[in-house]
Amino acid sequence: MIQKEFDFYRPCKLLQPYVRYYWVFKSNQFLNTLTFPIGCSQIIFHKQAPLYIPELNVTQDK
């Protein structure tokens, strides 16, 4: 069974004028497409394996 989950976190009061929320996407399925759940790209932190962007054929280190 495929499991997908989004977790949303509100920033501290000091950052709220600039950051609406943080989000984390979790899935037990391998994903090969770079996708953003809302229409604009933002700061993304990846802490696990290097991030591979298939559209650009580029791998970014941790």
Rounded to whole angstroms, the Cα distance separating 53 from 39 reads 18
43 or 22, which is more confident?
Answer: 22
Q: List the chain domain ranges.
A: 3-28+38-60
In the predicted model, what is the mean pLDDT of residues 29-49? Answer: 67
Specify the pLDDT at position 60. Answer: 77
Percent pLDDT > 70 in the chain is: 71
At residue 30's C-alpha, the angle toward residues 26 and 36, to 5°, is 55
pTM: 0.42
State yes or no: pLDDT of 7 exceeds 80: yes
Q: How far is CA 52 from the centre of its chain?
A: 13
Q: Is 51 exposed, middle or buried (0-12, 13-18, 19+ CB in 10 A)?
A: middle
